[in-house]
Amino acid sequence: MNHLKISRKKIGFTARKINLERVKQIKVRYGESIFITCGKSANLKSLFIENYEGTIFTTSGIDIVGNNNVIKLPVDTLDTQNYIAASDIIIAKAGWSTISEAIVANKKLVLIERIVLEDSHNIKQLKRKNLVISIKENELKNIDMKDIEQKTRNLKKLERIEGNKNSIIELLEIDDKVHKFV
């Protein structure tokens, strides 16, 4: 089989632009909030959140129990990055897009440990740099937000990401030999 030779170029963070005016509108309307997204990859019917009174934004695939302030974002919501930026804590699978958008927005990030090689690598590298904490997928059924807030209290934040020369590739120490699709 013949392979096409395509030139590749390293790029920095790949994240959608955050609209600060939209973020402000979300914060004014909903107040303190967290953002939970697992996509359809998590095997959860419901997730119980305790010790949290704020708004919980969630994407499709998750039913939140234990809090009356749940906003299930429609599948066609195109600006989830603004909800991430408006939230205090992000709980998500370890995909590149969500990681990038949370780090660019300087948010506390809780990554879900799944048996996925790329996710495991991302979590390992970000934990080593004290940028995230992680929880196992089976721990998602019951989340105590006081416990999460305590565990995320000392996470490092990247200062002024626009001026930071680290790319997501450098941050996660991605090896081109391992990730041919990059």
In this prediction, residue 21 has a pLDDT band, given cuts at 50, 70 and 90, of very high
What is the DSSP secondary structure assignment for residue 46, as one 8-state letter? -
Handedness of CA 171, 172, 178, 180 (dihedral sign): negative
Give the Cα separation of 66 and 82 in Å (integer): 25
**pLDDT > 70 fraction of the chain, expressed in percent and rounded:** 75
CATH homologous superfamily of 20-171 equals: Glycogen Phosphorylase B; (3.40.50.2000)
Provide the whole-model pTM.
0.80
Instruction: Please tell me the predicted confidence (pLDDT) of residue 161.
Output: 44
Q: Which of 49-63, 110-124, 133-147, 157-171 has the lowest mean pLDDT?
A: 157-171
Structure tokens at 137: 């997928």
Nearest alpha carbon to residue 54 among 79, 86, 21: 86
25-42 pLDDT per residue, tens: 999 999 999 999 886 666
Q: 1 falls in which pLDDT band (50, 70, 90)?
A: low
Please report which residue ranges of the chain form alpha helices under DSSP H. Answer: 20-30, 80-86, 96-104, 117-128, 145-152, 168-171
